[in-house]
Amino acid sequence: MCTTCGCGGKDAARIVEGEFALVSGEAAGPVRVPWAIAPAVTTASRVVRLERSLLEKNDRFAALNRAALARRAVQALNLMSSPGSGKTSWLVRTIEALGGTRPVAVIEGDQETARDAQRIRATGARALQINTGTGCHLEAEAVGRAITALALERGSLLLIENVGNLVCPAGFDLGEAAKVVVLSVTEGEDKPLKYPHMFRAASLLLLNKCDLLPHLDFDAAFAEECARRVNPAIEMIRVSARTGAGLPEWLDWIERHRLGAAVASGE
């Protein structure tokens, strides 16, 4: 995990506990968040121990997040992808399509800037930006602080846009109800085979930028076949953030998932 992907490398190791991640929101203003970074290691056994410790700590915070969200009947979805797949544009489309029929809030994860949170706020939805610095994924502790700051309404939809990265975000539970992976047709069809953990962790694949298919050599059917090779249960929707194609199917998936969770919890 992070001890091998770079965000726990030499530079980041200088900060073990400190004011590293920045959460900025329209209500509370900038808030500093403690961010734990594993120190550099030299042996394989120590790497394994540190990774296990990191994940166990994250899982404890994720469990707290999940319980807090359940108390308010909040449906949280963790959107993951490589950079430039169109996650933010798709979230903007989603919020606009919901048209205020349901409270929506967004947690944005990026290494720097609050540009994506600003785009979300322009729709009227609440948004908090988490800047991870050299970190390549969101962690449950920072997300939990953002959840508290948002003071979510009961029955809200919480959309978490993770840092653009097809590796580490797949391994870190944030307390979400489901993981959604976004793959754009400007990437390779074989991405699911090259990054199987990401697609195996996801419940849904959104194949974005499908309006560009007539102009590309991208084989959408093969991309979907690759996704099913690593995750036979994954659902898939072809979408376009530019045209809005696939929005009805996406909103239906969200509602079906919400209702399924409510039945499972006995509500």
Per-residue pLDDT of the chain (267 residues; tens, 9 = 90+): 454 454 554 333 221 222 334 444 444 444 344 434 334 445 666 656 666 778 899 999 999 999 999 999 999 999 999 999 999 999 999 999 999 999 999 999 999 999 999 999 999 999 999 999 999 999 999 999 999 999 999 999 999 999 999 999 999 999 999 999 999 999 999 999 999 999 999 999 999 999 999 999 999 999 999 999 999 999 999 999 999 999 999 999 999 999 877 766 666
As a whole number of Å, the CA-based R_g of the chain is: 18
- Whether the CB-CB separation of 92 and 125 falls below 8 Å is answered with no
Angle between helix 44-71 and helix 140-150 axes, rounded to 10 deg: 20
- Specify the pLDDT at position 260: 79
- Specify the pLDDT at position 34: 41
Those residues with Cβ within 8 angstroms of residue 253's Cβ, 6 or more apart along the chain or in another chain: 204, 235, 237
Report how far residue 135's alpha carbon sits from residue 146's, in angstroms, rounded to the nearest whole number. 17
- Specify the pLDDT at position 264: 67
- Specify the pLDDT at position 44: 63
- Least Cα distance to 202 among 233, 224, 223, 225 occurs for 233
Q: Does domain 2-265 fall into CATH 3.50.50.60?
A: no
Those residues with Cβ within 8 angstroms of residue 176's Cβ, 6 or more apart along the chain or in another chain: 66, 76, 77, 78, 160
- Whether the CB-CB separation of 226 and 193 falls below 8 Å is answered with yes
- Specify the pLDDT at position 218: 98
- Specify the pLDDT at position 38: 39
- Specify the pLDDT at position 52: 74
* pTM metric for this prediction: 0.84
Report how far residue 96's alpha carbon sits from residue 124's, in angstroms, rounded to the nearest whole number. 9
